[in-house]
Amino acid sequence: MTGDDITRLDPPPRPPEEPDPADCCGEGCVRCIYDVHDEAVERYRKALQAWRERNPGVPLADGHADAD
């Protein structure tokens, strides 16, 4: 099975999109959009690590950020 076959059957997780700075109100919200984004990045890193363990040596395709 090739790397392309693997990523089609078990695609790597996609990194979360960066929040738009205009979406932040700047009022110090308890759960700011940047806090939510940081949590999403942490979930992405864990999901990417699990994907790498399932698919050792398979490179990430374009559009997938490496979380190392």
Whether the full predicted model's pTM is greater than 0.85, yes or no, is no
d(CA 17, CA 3): 25
Percent of the chain whose pLDDT exceeds 90: 60
Q: What pLDDT is attached to residue 58?
A: 87
Is 50 among the domain residues?
A: yes
Q: Please give the residue range of the domain that contains residue 41.
A: 20-56
For the chain, the domain total comes to 1
Is 38 among the domain residues?
A: yes
DSSP for 12-29 reads PPPPPPPPPGGG--SS--
d(CA 28, CA 5): 45
Percent of the chain whose pLDDT exceeds 70: 79
Give the CA radius of gyration of the chain: 15
